[in-house]
């Protein structure tokens, strides 16, 4: 198995893309730290699926917007499973608002989780790798919106655009330590972040017509790439963004 002997931490793995990635990494042999804001049924499902695969699991409940929680997430994960080799920064939120109506609270909600949380969780992880003199993998779940405008979601776009540059910058700074950094940029995937869209047939139809492959993605359309980027086969890949979007990003055409 490709990830036998490795320990992965997947933030926001109680549901959606994070859940699929956590389970996929376990299928490939990794022990997994499952992180979520709440201990709901769905987070329990992630942990149970990993245990059923015969892998070790540690559940961490915390708020990525809080740096004390991030520090505890890494420290407790290391204590429970011995080390961490792979960090998947998956947790993310979005909030629709016209630009002129965005409040400071909206801004903080989105940027604190998508950017600040990713930034400092990664810092704590890198400190752990340097302290233990080991290489590691950082995989950020970004979005097509690190590249593509998304009107009425300026906070989300600002956070994902920042992840694009953070990936490139850290690839250069951390490469000499054997630490790789890559982004996965999903398009429209059927997950709880899209609940509103999924319940609005007109909106959904308009979006699907923009997707060359003619459908929304499923979490498992994304998880295989995360497993690949975490594996030895991706040892020479760093600083890149990989799109998993059914062709959405490049679909501009004149009618």
Interacting stretch for ligand BGC, rule CB under 6 A, among 14-22, 24-32, 99-107, 140-148? 140-148
Angstrom distance (rounded) from CA 140 to CA 143 = 9
107 carries an active-site annotation:
no
- Does residue 217 belong to the site contacting ligand BGC (CB under 6 A)? no
CB of 23 to ligand BGC, least distance (A): 21
Tokens of 11: 């933030």
| Minimum gap (Å) between residue 252 Cβ and ligand BGC | 14
| Tokens 């062709």 -> residue | 247
Query: Is residue 164 part of the contact set for ligand BGC (CB under 6 A)?
Result: no
Q: Is 18 in the site for ligand BGC (CB under 6 A)?
A: no
Number of residues in contact with ligand BGC under rule CB under 6 A: 10
Q: DSSP readout, 163-230?
A: HHHHHHHHHHHHGGGTEEEEEEEE-SBSSGGGHHHHT-HHHHHHHHTT-TTSS-B-HHHHHHHHHHHH
Q: How far is the CB of 216 from ligand BGC (least distance, A)?
A: 8
What x-and-dash track marks residues 69-98 binding ligand BGC by CB under 6 A? -------------------------x----
DSSP of 86-115, one letter per residue? EEEE---------GGG--HHHHHHHHIIII
Note whether 197 binds ligand BGC by CB under 6 A: yes
114 lies in the binding site for ligand BGC (CB under 6 A):
no
Comparing CB distances to ligand BGC, the nearer of 18 and 136 is 18
CB of 98 to ligand BGC, least distance (A): 16
> Is 71:119 a contact under the CB 8 Å cutoff?
no
Q: Tell me whether strands 241-244 and 179-186 are parallel, antiparallel or unpaired.
A: parallel
- Site residues for ligand BGC per CB under 6 A: 94, 143-145, 150, 187-188, 193-194, 197
Catalytic residues: 156
């Amino acid at each position: 198995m490709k990830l036998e002997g490795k320990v992965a931490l997947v933030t926001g793995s109680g549901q959606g893309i994070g859940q699929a990635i956590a389970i996929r990494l376990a299928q490939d042999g990794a022990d997994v730290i499952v992180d979520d804001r709440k201990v709901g049924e769905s987070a329990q499902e992630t942990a149970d699926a990993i245990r059923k695969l015969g892998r070790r699991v540690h559940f961490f409940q915390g708020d990525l917007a809080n740096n004390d929680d991030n520090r505890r997430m890494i420290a407790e994960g290391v204590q429970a499973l011995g080390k961490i080799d792979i960090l998947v920064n998956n947790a993310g939120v979005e909030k629709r608002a016209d630009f002129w109506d965005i409040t400071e609270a909206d801004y903080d909600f989105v940027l604190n989780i998508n950017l600040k949380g990713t930034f400092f969780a990664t810092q704590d992880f890198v400190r752990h790798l340097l302290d233990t003199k080991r290489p590691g993998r950082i995989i950020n779940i970004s979005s097509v919106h690190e590249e593509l405008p998304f009107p009425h979601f300026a906070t989300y776009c600002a956070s994902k655009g920042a992840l694009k540059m953070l990936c490139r910058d850290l690839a250069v700074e951390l490469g000499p330590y054997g630490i790789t950094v890559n982004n996965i940029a999903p398009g429209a995937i059927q997950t709880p972040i899209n609940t509103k869209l999924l319940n609005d047939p007109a909106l959904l139809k308009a979006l699907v017509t923009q997707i060359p492959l003619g459908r929304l993605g499923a979490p498992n359309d994304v998880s295989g790439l995360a497993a690949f980027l975490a594996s030895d086969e991706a040892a020479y890949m760093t600083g890149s963004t990989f799109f998993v979007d059914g062709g959405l990003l490049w679909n501009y055409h004149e009618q």
